[in-house]
Structures are given as C-alpha cells and as structure tokens.
Chain A
Amino acid sequence: MSRVLLDGWQVHEFAPGLYPERLDLKDGHVDRLIGGLLGRWAQRGSGLRLLRLRQFAERVEALAGELPALATPALKARARSLRGVLVAGGLADAPAAECFALVSEVCSRLLGLRHYPVQMMGGYALLRGALAEMQTGEGKTLTAMLPAVTVALAGAPVHVITVNAYLARRDAEALAPVYEFFGLHVGLIVPDQDRVQRAAAYACDVTYCVNKDLVFDYLRDRIGQQRSRSGNRALLDEWLAGPYHVSTRPPLLRGLFYAIVDEADSVLIDEARTPLIISSDVDDAHGRDLYEQALVLAAALERRAHYRLRPQERSIELTDAGRAAVAEFARGQPGLWAIARAREELVEQGLSALHLFQLDRHYLIADGKVRIVDECTGRVMADRSWERGLHQMIEVKEGLDLSKRRDTISRITYQRFFRRYLCLAGMTGTATEVAPEMRSVYALDVLRIPPNRPLIRRHLGQRVFLDGERRWAAVVERAAALRAAGRAVLIGTRSVAASELASQRLSAAGLEHAVLNARQDGDEARIIAQAGQPGRITVATDMAGRGTDILLSPVVRDAGGLHVILSEFHDAARIDRQLFGRAGRQGDPGSCEAIVALDDELFVAHAGHLPGWLRAWRAADGLLPDRLARLLRLFAQTAAERQNSRIRRQTVEFDKRVERSLAFAGRGE
C-alpha cells in the first residue's frame, strides 16, 4: 500500500492502535448540521457529478473495446502489469479505468456477465468513497466488484459488507473465479466460524463479511490489545518486552482500509440504532430465586396503577404506587432487595420480560434456549443475549434453564466503527431519504445512478383493511388468483409470527407454499431458488427483502413475472420499496401491491389515536378510502422515522458523552 493511496483518501494520520484506521472525528453540532444540509443539497447538484461518472464510464468502454480480442494469458499479463501501476501510483483515473475494463472483460469471460455503463458509473462512485444509489435489481454485486478489485490490486485489504450470511456467501462464491484471475484471494466472514477460519478470511485481499460479525471481530481485536490509547506507547511496550515475548493474540483484522457496504441504508441507518456489545459469561451471583421472585412480583403488579407501559418505546416505568408495592415486598429481604434502585430495576426488567418481549416475535425457543430474533431482518441472532438480567428473566418466564449472566466487555456504535475506515463506500437501492444523515454521520455523499433499463414493474396500489382478518383473506385471494395465472408470488411479513399466520391461512385455503423465516433459514438458498417457479407462493419475513435475487423461470416471465404482496408496512417507506424491489429486476416484468390492516404494528405504535378513530369507519368492503390510507401511512411512517432517527442520534450523543467523560479509562472498545 503506497503513500499515494493514503493521500488519495486524505489520510494523514492513523488512529493510535495496532493497525491502520482513521482517527475518530471530533465533530460538533455545527459540523453535523452543515453535513446534514450538504447531504440535502448535494442531491440537486448531482447532475453535474454524474457527468464525471459518465465520462469515466465512456473511458472504460473505450478501453474495453480492444480487450475481447486478447487471449486469456495476455489478459492476465495485463492485469499483472496493472497491479504494479496501481500499487505505485494509487487510484488515479487512468489505471482505474483500465482496471474496470479488465474486470468487466474477465467477468464476461468467466461468468458470462458484462458490466453495463451504469455499473461502471456506480463502481467509480464507490471507488471515490461515495454512496451509490442504484435501483433494486441493477446488479450491485457486480458493481461492487469493480472498485473491490481495483483497490485490492492497489494493495489495500477490501471489505465488502452485506447484511446477511446468505448474501455474503452467495457473492463470495459466485465472484471468486474473477478475483482469482487477478491473483486476488477472496475470504468470507459469516457466523459460526472459528478463529482460525476468520483470521484466514481477513488475510485475503477481498473479504466478504456480514456486518455484525465484522464489527464483533473488530471488538475482539480491541479487547486483545492493551487498553491503551496511545499507539506509540503500545509499540514501545511491545519493544520493551523483548524479542522472546509472546504477544497476547495476533489481531484478526489487518486494519480498516476500504469498505463497500452493500445495502448501506440497512447497515448504516437501520441497524445503527443500537450499539454492538461483546460480553463475557459470568456466574450469576443472584441465582434463579431472585429472578423468580422478581417475576412473581412483576406479575402481581397492575398496569396503570403500578406501572406504565409504553409499547412503542419498549419501555416500562414504575409509578409511585408501584415503587411502594415493590418496597413493601422487599421489606426484610436481604441482598439486592434492600437497595431501592436495584430492586426497582429488577422489577422493571421482570415487567419487560412479561409484557414487552413476546415469544415468536422477539425471540424463539430452540434447543431449550432463548434465541433473539433481529427485528430488522427477521433472522435469528446467534449468541446474542439481552443485558442486565433480562435474558435470564425471560428464561425463567419460559421455564428454561438459566444461562450465565453476561457482562459487557466492550461496545461500539456502528457510527463510530464505520467512520474509522480509511475509505468508506456504500450502495443501496434506497438512500435518498437518509442522504442528510449519511452525509452528516458517515461523510458519505449520495449519488443517484440512473437505471440501466427502465423499470416495468407495475405498482397495483395499496389497500388498508380495517381489520387483520379481512387483510389475510384478501392476501390469500390475490395469491390464489395469481397462482392460477401461472405467476410467482412473494408475500412479505414483518415477524415470524405473522409469516406463520399467513402460512396457516394459505394452508386453510389449500394453497401450497413455502415459508422463509428465522426458523427455516437453513433452506434459504433452496427456497429462493424455487421462488421464481410458476405458481409458487413464498411467504418470507424481511430476510428476503434485501439483495435476494429471485430468478424467474421463462414461463413466469411470460405470465407477468413475480408479484410481491406486502402484508404490513415497515417503519420506513424505503424498506417497503426494498421488498417491492424483488419484483421487476433487471428489466423483468413484475408487479407489487400492499395489502395491510389498521391493526398493524406501524399504525398502532406510531399513528397515535388515529387507527382507533378510523376503525369506526363503516365501509362495506372493509377498506379505508385510498386517500385517507395514503395520509395515514405517510403520517405513521414519518413519525416512526423521526423516532428512529432520534434514537440513532441519541446513541451517537450518548456514545460521545461517555467517551468524553471516561477518557481516563482508555479507549471505549
């Protein structure tokens, strides 16, 4: 890796630590305000910036013209010589264009796929550290390969970050031949790998990673290091320890150089609400009795009189009467019960376990253990547990064996982590709404790349039913009709429970279907491979929402392609669009619609009293008038988005405050 490369990324100083990463930026309110405004306004000037991208794409096209004539060994030789140029001269436009042309040529030879000009444009935007907004189904996987190869050839380790293991594995395996052609190794980081495998994967030139695994590995590295802020000091310690000193554990990663974040809005925005925490198992001193007592007491308390429940905030608060009741219960009890704050917290956790966390929605039970379900992706999160005794409380509630208590060892926010990359790039289908935040938090400019082929997906509108029953009836009816027409249907649900309810309804109607949710994620690849067959109905939680490419059989394509039914709105319209984006990919025909109900979580949690008032609406077809439905959706999603954005902002603020006040304790992670 050359100095030129670092200069190109405007890196003048590394953060103290054992490997290269950017210094944490100390930005104030004003910086963020200006960043937000820039992000908002940058959209307007994007035409001008696209011009540069287009010129670059033309340059690549011109260079690519002569390549098909070359024999494979000659192509390899070219790639080798190009590597030298890139290593020495950094990522200038000329060698980058040549590299893009080569990659495109190699792709067409090995995979039979050639890059479109818009993908070249997207690739260039990524190379320059921007966030490329490309329509769903525009082939982001191929696009990411262009800058990944270029940067890897220039000598910097590349991380391509995706949202789930399925996508990471699929991309890594599919693209490996191309990378190997350039003499680059591809690594894969997915859950359930051991340390050796991970270290090997990170040692590769290009590593496809699942976001959470990457961040956890980073945290583990940091724990391994001395808790010291000063890198020089750490090096000195190492040197003083002498040549025979065995350093604790070699780090897994080689540094945070260049990352391409696929589905950037999901990773950088939706998942950035909560920091990532690594914890260690600790024997629980309090034992089962304490939790059982707390649960019994919590169950005996009355709602409103003793505590207030706020489902949409996921919080529970004891009232004064509640506190008195707890104090009464605790009288004469030893240990934690004697301390007012501790016992109240205990009871609040008990109440949360009883009222806020529901089986099959927030967690599953598998092998006698509580497994947390990620609400964003609908996937089971392995090895994850709740904090501060909540996990144990839920285990007690479900009558399971008590697991060990976990104490935080290290934590980091996504916002902090991703900004440490020397160069960060991203791509997604839906970024416009979050452009200000991308700019102000991650310093990512959003560039909207035009689509390659015009979209011919038809949107059949939305129907909001007054009650859930009629919604499912309508969904089943629609699925049956489309199945009869020989098309493929994808029904999106938000939770495992909802997917099972849908499955039940479909079965009752005698419709054959497949279910893809956190319980069945082993079959994911198989189910998706078949989802494009004629007459196929697939019920999926959000895990099928991003990046999943459902290949259509020719029969289905002729019959009108895939039809996506959204059975419940999400917190943000862009996530809805992601699911719709499963239909009509790469210029395929397709259609989508939303069939939802007034008692959905979005409306209940974020529309205040509106659903209650609207329920009084008497309509023969059980439908809300279209205009009203649009307004309601807009209102609820705006409110939800605002709340989520506030939570993210608070996460960042809290992180900063802690960092400031605990500076004496060394680095936070």
Chain B
Amino acid sequence: MAAPFLSASWYRIAELRPVLRAHARIQRQRFRGQAWYVLHDPASGKLHRFSPSAYRVIQLMDGRRTINQIWGEVAAQAGSAAPSQDDVLRLLAQLHAGDLLQADLPPDVDELAERGGKQKRHKLLQRLINPMSIRVPLWDPDVFLKRSFPLVRPLCGPLGLCLWLLVVGPAIVLAGVHWQELTVNLSDQVLATRNLLLLWLIYPLIKALHELGHGYAVRSGDGEVHEMGIMLLVLAPIPYVDASAAGAFRSKWRRAAVGAAGMLVELFLAGLAMLFWVSVEPGLLRSITFNVLLVAGASTLLFNGNPLLRYDGYYILSDLIEIPNLGNRSNQYWQWLAKRHLFGVTTVERPPASPGERRWFVFYGAASFLYRTWVMIAITLFIAGEFFVIGVVLAIWAAITLFVLPVGKGLSYVLSSPELQRTRTRARLLTFGGLALLLLGVFCVPLPLRTHAEGVVWVPENAEVRAAADGFVEHLFVRPDAPVGAGELLLTTEEPGLIAELEQSQARVRQFAVQYASLMFDDRTQAVAIRQDLEREQVVLTRAEEKLDSLLVLAALPGQIKLVRAEDLPGRYVHKGELLGHIVAGPPRLLRVVVGQDDIALVREQRTVVEVKIADRLEHTYRAQVLREVPGGYDQLPSKALSLDGGGPHGTDPRDPNGLKSLQRLFQFDLELPPEVGALQIGTRVYVRFHHQAEPLAEQWGRRLRQLFLSRFNV
C-alpha cells in the first residue's frame, strides 16, 4: 500500500507561508547522472540533499504563497509524478529539523529550546556512544586556515601535484629497493622502548598535518572549517577535522580531493622520510625518519585508505561513485531487504536508489559490517589484553553498542513494530525459529572436534647410538651401514684417566688386603678399620670398572647402523650422551608430535582417531597409533623444523643458541605409523589431526573462551 496521497495532517500546514532562511545556500550537483540539489547551512555545517521535485517546492517558498498553493502549483506542473501531501510534509519537517524554515508564525521558543537541547544531548551521546572513538572538539580553525591559506595556495594545484609526484615517485622506488632492510625485524624495531616514545611524539604530529591537509583542501574550495579537535581512537589521541563543508562542492573530484588531501600529505611526508632514511647514518635522525615512514606510509594506507571503515577512504569512495551517505543508505537498504523478503512486509517503500546504487549497497553493507565487526572484536581483545580493568569495561561497552543494542532494537522491531502488524507471525516465526535453530545448533548438535598439531618423523627410542661416557673414540668395530645384531659391540672409546684411576684403585685394594691379612691376628682393632677402608676401596674399584665398561658402545637393537660422520669418529673426543648414530630397524615409522598446552587435555583424554599427513606425500592420509606421551621435555622442541624460524608453529626463545627452547609449555607424543607408509626420511615434517568426540559448538567455544580469559586476564 502506497502512502496516501492526501495527508491527515495537511490542515496544520496548508495555510502556512514559509520561506527558506536567508543564509542557506543551494548547489546543484549531479549524482549518477541525476540532478540533485544540495542545501548547505553554513551556520550549522549541515548538508541536505533534495530531489528536483522537492527543490521545486523549496523554490516556491517565498513567504507569500501558502503551502497549499505551492503544492497545487507543483502538482500541476509535475503531472503524474506529483508529490503527495505527505512528501511535502516530510520535506517541511526536514527543513524545520535543520533550522532552515521560517514561517509567518511567531517562533515557538519553548520548542526551539527543547529541540536545541535534544540536539546537544544527541551530539554528546554520539560522541560517547562508541568507546573506541570519542570526540572532543577543541578549536575553530577557520581564522587560522583563512590567514595561512595564501602560504599553502601554490601547493593546491598542478605545482603541488608535480612536487608530490617528484617526491613520492622516487620514494616508492627506494622503498622497493630497501624493502628487505626496512622490514627485517619490524616488530622488534617498532616495539623497542625508545622507539615507542618517538612513535608517541611523531604520531599526533603527522596526524595533525594530515588534518590540516583536509582543512586547506576545504579552504581551497572556499569552504569553511569550524571544528577541529581530538578523537580518542582506541584510547590513542588523534586530531580530527570537520570537513563536511566539502559536501557542497559541485565537482565530485574536488570533494574526493578533500577526502584524499590528508593521505596525500602523509604520503608526501613518508616520501621525504624515505629519501632521508637512505641518506643518513643510523642514529636518532634515522629513527625519526623510520617512524615517519611507518606512521605516514603504512598506517595511512592501512587505516585511512580503507573504505570499509568510516575514514578518508570511505568518503573518497562515496564521492567517486557518487553515492553520498553510502554507509547509512547501505544499512537502510539491507534493512529494507530483510523486511521485504524475509518478513514479507509489503507496506515499506523501497529506499529510493538506482540499480547501480543498489548493487553498491548490497556489497558495501555486507562487507563493511563484517569488516567492522572483525576490527571491533580484534581491537576489543587487544585493549582488554593490555589494560585489564579499562579493557573489560570498554569491551562490555563496545559489545553493548555493537551487538546488544542493535539486536535489542531488532527484536523490539519484530515484537512490536506496527510495520509488521500483518506479517508478525511470519516475522516472529522466522526470527525466533532461526534463533532457536541457531541455538539448537550451537548448544545441542555435536560437531566434529579436532586438534591440529605438527611433528617430525622420529627414530625409535633405543635406536640412538650415544656415547655413554666422555672419551676418545678408540676403535670402530663396524663399518657404517653394516647390519648389526643386538648386543654387538659397535665401538670403544678410551679415557686414559679412567684407566689410571682403575689401576690406582686396584693397587689400593691389594694394599688394603695385604694390610688386613697381616693385622688380623695382631691387632684386631686396627684390622677392623683397615677392613672398612678395603670395602670402600672395592666399591670405588667396581665403579671404575663400570665406567670402563661404558666405554664400550653396544647395539641395543638389531638393524642397520647409521653413524654420524663415521670417517671422523676414530680418535674424536665425544661427550657423554652425544649422538653418534642410529640403528635403523626397517623403515622408520615413529613420529614425534608436539602439542600445545591449550590442547593437551583434549588430546590426552578424548582421542578417537589420529590422522597424519606427511609433508612429502600430502595426498595420502594415514591412520596412526599413539604409542605414549613422552615424559618431560616440556620446553624443548624435538626438531628445529617445528620452531617458527623453521617454518613450524611454535615460537622459540631467541636467547637459546640451539633455537629449541620453546616459549610455551609443550607436550610431546610418540605416534606409530602403519607399515604401508613406506620409506621415510627422519626429520620429515608431519601434520597430525587428532579427532575427538564430537561436541556442540557452545562447549567448544566455551573451552576456548575460558582458556583465553585465563591466559589473557588470569581470571
């Protein structure tokens, strides 16, 4: 049902003789091939966009005609496209809300005051509603911009563009050349203490220049800038400027230029910094240039240039594609889509838009919502992790504005909006049915639960040939790669000190034995003491003999001996426990897998099937058997291949020379592959998937959330 042509409230305005307030300025602009009239109110800085037929009404408002006459004239001219009375009413209400209407009635001071107060409250609320960006207006920069503009004027034109290209062009080339140098150890460079201080000093400075860039760009189009201030973006103070006056510019390129000016300034600074960076010696200056490069280059392109967030990129995009207010209108369009197609409401009118605009709305609405949600969650987690109390308060605040309020609004719409009167059953059924299904799915339907881990192909436990004592390798009894039997002597080592020790001990034993024999009958008291010495010395002797035995290295298993650098072995000094080689009994089938502490409980207790993919034959998946959990070794990786440096998932302590000491506590498992795997290289990376009993998503998420809270907040 279309809105009625005649309005029940018409009588209230029919005899009014309104006139547009004198200071309002009107510009004709073209948007996607259609003419629109943009009304700019310099006093409030607001912009209103009107269609030609609405503009016709505004044109006729001269303070002499009544609204009734105006409507009559417009309707007569427009013919079949005549605006309804409600259209006119809405137009007048809009003008009134923008303080642009003057009528032949005395102004209602009460109402004006009330509306003013309401607007103020609304503005304040808008500033505070989003904890991630709180705005504090500080300064009216108009006078400053006006006075200083002559200095900047030459730069706002072809000359400026040439200069910009001259700096930025070479800088890009240089950045490409020095890419390696610039990015190596980036996080260390950025997060070093001294650098953080520099960053804090440089960041606002650059952003202030950025905002001045916007300001001058507005100025160059004869616009005015009346608000500048500080925005607390994720608690970091950043200047902002109100450049809404640019909306009144006729050329879309001019409008886009205002949006881009800030980024152009920053990129220019980054270009300069790049040129300096390559030409100065390491030191404070170089650090500063590096930071400028970082802030003005990288952060600008990532943050400001991204049209999915409401920063410069968004405004440039909406100017270039000629869809003003793209974000809000996308949301409205999505709402309309939901109302019309999901809830079957036929009474809501489609938001006016051309087919091209509609495509943009669909795409932009979805993309920006997903992206914003993701960014919000990430930022919230980040802040919550850094500052616990503020962080959690902020997180709750953000969650309320981002999720609870919209969801609440949506629910109240479904429950009580008059629009849904006819299709409420359907809307409720869909909403609550969908919700119930979702909850059912989340809470009741068990879904597969898996843990992923990485490991390496490993040698069997006793297959390692290690030196049992310090010593020089004396003799090799086997040839490399020769088959050996269990218990077969592989090599001997010698330790000259050990033999001397043994001989000394043997001599002492003999001495005590003789003394004891001679004293046994003469002096029994003395004999007992000697006997004790003898017994002690015999123990020492046994130990020495054992040590001597350990100089012999035996094969623990039958198999083929693989020695590490066999040719170097004879005469080499080996340490106790040093790996000398392996005995390979058939092809290796053992895997050593490293599991992080977050997953250990699951892997230990709720394991069903273990699947393995081997790096050199990814097309096959094998079932493996868990042999045992390796005790100990909680912070040592079995292989460098599993560390971050080696391409694995685990971070290691940079101070550890071996690069094996992990930063997190780890647990290791030995798995056995089935025989059909074939020949494997020891040390090959394997990807392991532990299957667990299926669990509903809620349980899975709950576990992760608890872990997150524990690890982040210690609660």
Q: Tell me, yes or no, whether A binds B.
A: yes
Residues of A at the B interface (CB closer than 8 Å) are 16, 26, 227-230, 233, 277, 310, 313, 315, 317-318, 338-342, 344-345, 348, 387-388, 407-411, 646, 650, 658, 661-666, 668
- For the complex formed, measure the closest distance between the CB of B113 and the CB atoms of chain A, giving whole angstroms: 12
B250 within 8 A of A: no
In the complex, chain A residues whose CB is within 8 Å of the CB of B422: 310, 313
Determine whether B152 belongs to the interface, using a CB cutoff of 8 Å to chain A: no
> Once the chains are docked, how many angstroms separate the CA of A342 from the CA of B106?
34
Is there contact, CB below 8 Å, between A348 and B1?
Answer: yes
Cβ-closest chain B residue relative to A278: B11
B99 CB to closest chain A CB, in angstroms? 10
B96 touching A664 by the CB < 8 A rule? yes
Task: Looking at the assembled complex, report how far the CB atom of A154 sits from the nearest CB atom of chain B, in whole angstroms.
Answer: 30
Cβ of A658: which chain B residues have Cβ within 8 Å of it?
9, 12
- List the A side residues contacting B5 at CB < 8 Å: 339, 341-342, 345
Among A227, A341, A387, A662: residue with most chain B CB under 10 A: A341
Judge whether B8 and A665 touch: CB under 8 Å.
no
Beta-carbon nearest neighbor of B112 in chain A: A663
Enumerate chain B residues within 8 angstroms of A229, measured Cβ to Cβ.
Answer: 105-106, 108, 110-111
Stretch at the interface among B78-86, B180-188, B380-388: B78-86
| With A341-B3, A664-B92, A665-B103 already in contact, 17 other A-B pairs whose C-beta atoms are closer than 8 Å | A228-B106, A339-B80, A339-B82, A341-B84, A344-B2, A345-B2, A388-B6, A408-B11, A409-B11, A410-B11, A411-B11, A662-B93, A663-B111, A663-B115, A664-B96, A665-B16, A665-B105
Residues of B with C-beta under 8 A to A666? 12, 105, 108
Asked if B6 and A345 sit within 8 Å, CB to CB, the answer is: yes
Contacts A339-B80, A408-B10, A410-B11 given; does A664 touch B1 at CB 8 Å: no
- Centre residue among B10, B75, B90, B106 by max chain A CB count within 10 A: B106
Q: Does B346 contact A (CB under 8 A)?
A: yes
Q: How far is the CB of B477 from chain A (nearest CB, A)?
A: 93
Task: Report the separation of the CA atoms of residues A230 and B111 in the bound assembly, to the nearest whole angstrom.
Answer: 10
Say whether B489 faces chain A, with CB atoms less than 8 Å apart: no
Main SS class of interface, A: mixed
Q: Is the CB of B11 within 8 A of A341?
A: no
From the candidates A26, A317, A407, A650, name the one contacting B11 in the complex (CB within 8 A).
A407
Q: Determine the distance from Cα of A61 to Cα of B415 in the docked complex, in whole angstroms.
A: 52
Query: Is the CB–CB distance between B4 and A341 below 8 Å?
Result: yes
| Inter-chain contacts of B115 with A (CB < 8 A) | 663
- Closest Cβ neighbor of A666 among chain B residues: B105
Shortest A482–chain B CB gap in Å is 43
- B9–A388 touching, CB < 8 Å: no
Closest to B90 in A: A661
| In the complex, B77 has a CB within 8 A of chain A | no
Neighbouring A residues of B11 by C-beta, 8 Å: 407-411
Interface string of B68-104 (1 = CB under 8 A from A): 0000000100011010100001101100110001010
Tell me if B621 is interfacial: C-beta within 8 Å of chain A: no
Residue pairs across A and B with CB atoms within 8 Å: the count is 99
Residues of A within 8 A of B110 (CB): 16, 229-230
Interfacial chain A residues near B370, Cβ < 8 Å: none
Chain B residues within 8 Å of A345, by CB: 2, 4-6
Evaluate contact between B106 and A233: CB separation under 8 angstroms.
Answer: yes
Inter-subunit contact A665/B418 (CB<8 Å):
no
B19 vs chain A, min Cβ distance (A): 12
How far apart are the CA atoms of A315 and B418 in the complex, in Å?
A: 14
- A298: min CB distance to chain B, Å: 15
The CB with the most chain B CB atoms within 10 A, among A407, A408, A646, A665, is that of: A665
B401 at the interface (CB under 8 A from A): no
How long is the Cα–Cα vector from A661 to B110 in the complex, in angstroms?
15
Known interface pairs A408-B10, A410-B11; A662-B89 also in contact (CB < 8 Å): yes
Distance between B326 CB and nearest chain A CB, rounded to angstroms: 26
From residue A312, how far is it (CB to closest CB) to chain B in Å?
11
Cα distance A411–B346 when bound, in Å?
29
A569 to B191 CA separation, bound complex (whole angstroms): 78
Q: Which residues of B, 44-81, contact A by the 8 Å Cβ criterion?
A: 75, 79-80
CB-CB nearest 9 A-B residue pairs: A661-B93, A342-B5, A229-B108, A664-B96, A341-B5, A408-B11, A665-B12, A663-B111, A317-B1
On whether the beta carbons of A338 and B79 are closer than 8 Å, the reply is yes
Once the chains bind, are A646 and B8 in contact (CB under 8 Å)? no
Can you list 14 contacts pairing A with B, beta carbon distance less than 8 Å? A228-B106, A233-B106, A339-B80, A340-B2, A341-B3, A341-B5, A348-B1, A408-B11, A662-B89, A663-B96, A665-B12, A665-B105, A666-B105, A666-B108
- The CA-CA distance from A665 to B101 in the complex, in Å, is 11
Chain A CB within 10 Å, residue with most, of B3, B12, B103: B12
Q: Which chain B residues (572-608) contact chain A, with CB distance < 8 Å?
A: none
Complex CA gap A340/B78 in Å reads 12
Expressed in whole angstroms, the minimum distance between the Cβ of B117 and any Cβ of chain A is 11
Residue on B nearest A233 in the bound complex, by CB: B106
User: Within 8 Å CB of A409, what residues of B?
Assistant: 11
> Is B373 on the interface with A (CB-CB < 8 A)?
no
What is the bound-complex CA distance between A338 and B5, given in angstroms?
12
Chain B residues in 8 Å Cβ range of A228: 105-106
Distance of A650 Cα from B418 Cα, bound (Å): 7
Give the residues in chain A near B109, CB-CB below 8 Å. Answer: 230
In the complex, which residues of chain A have a beta carbon less than 8 angstroms from the beta carbon of B681? Answer: none
Nearest chain A CB to B662 CB, angstrom units: 56
- CB-defined contacts of B421 to chain A, threshold 8 Å: 313, 646
Nearest A-chain residue to B81, judged by Cβ: A339
State A407–B6 Cα separation when bound (angstroms).
10
Q: In the bound complex, what is the Cα–Cα distance between A408 and B2 (angstroms)?
A: 21
Chain B residues near A344 (CB-CB < 8 A): 2
Nearest-neighbour CB distance to chain A for B61, whole angstroms, equals 12
Which residues does chain B contribute within 8 Å of A16, judged by CB atoms? 110
The answer, among A317, A340, A408, for a CB contact under 8 Å with B8, is A408
B105→A664 contact, CB < 8 A: yes
Q: Cα distance A388–B7 when bound, in Å?
A: 9
Residue B13 at the A interface, CB < 8 A? yes
Report how far A154 CA is from B344 CA in the complex, Å.
59
Nearest A residue to B94, CB-CB: A661
Of all chain A residues, which has the CB nearest B96? A664
Q: Which of B1, B4, B84 contacts A388 (CB 8 A)?
A: B4
**A244 CA to B710 CA, complexed, in Å:** 86
Q: How many Å lie between the Cα of A668 and that of B8 in the bound state?
A: 12
Q: Closest CB-CB distance, B528 to chain A, in whole Å?
A: 100
A662–B8 Cα distance when bound, in Å, is 12
Taken together as a complex, chains A and B put the C-alpha atoms of A663 and B418 apart, in Å, by: 24
| Cβ–Cβ < 8 Å partners of B93 in chain A | 661-662
Asked if B105 contacts A227 (CB within 8 A), the reply is: yes
In the assembled complex, how far is the CB of residue A368 from the closest CB belonging to chain B, in whole angstroms?
A: 27
Query: Which chain A residue lies CB-closest to B80?
Result: A338
| Given the contacts A313-B421, A650-B418, A663 and B108 also touching, CB distance less than 8 Å | yes
Residue in B6, B16, B75, B108 whose CB lies within 8 Å of A230:
B108
- Minimal beta-carbon separation of B109 from chain A (angstroms): 7
Return chain A residues, CB-CB under 8 Å to B346. 317
How far is it, in angstroms, between the C-alpha of A612 and the C-alpha of B259 when the chains are bound?
64
Please tell me if the beta carbons of B8 and A387 are within 8 angstroms of each other in the complex.
yes
Q: Which residues of the partner chain B approach A410 to less than 8 Å between Cβ atoms?
A: 11
Q: Which of A227, A313, A410, A661 has the most CB of B within 10 A?
A: A661
Known: A344-B2, A388-B4. A664 touches B9 (CB 8 A): no
CB distance from A244 to the nearest CB of B (A): 23
| Chain A residues, Cβ within 8 Å of B97 | 661
A408–B114 Cα gap in the complex (Å)?
A: 28
What's the Cα separation between A432 and B340 when bound, in Å?
39
Closest to A232 in B: B109
Q: How far is the CA of A116 from the CA of B203 in the complex (A)?
A: 83
Task: Give residues of chain B (18-32) contacting chain A, Cβ–Cβ below 8 Å.
Answer: 18
CB distance from A31 to the nearest CB of B (A): 16
Which of chain A's residues has its CB closest to B86's CB? A341
By the criterion CB–CB under 8 Å, are B1 and A318 in contact? yes
CA distance A646 to B93 in the complex (A): 26
Chain B residue numbers with a CB within 8 Å of A408 are 8, 10-11
Residues of A within 8 A of B105 (CB): 227-229, 664-666
Which B residues touch A663, using CB under 8 A? 96, 108, 111, 115
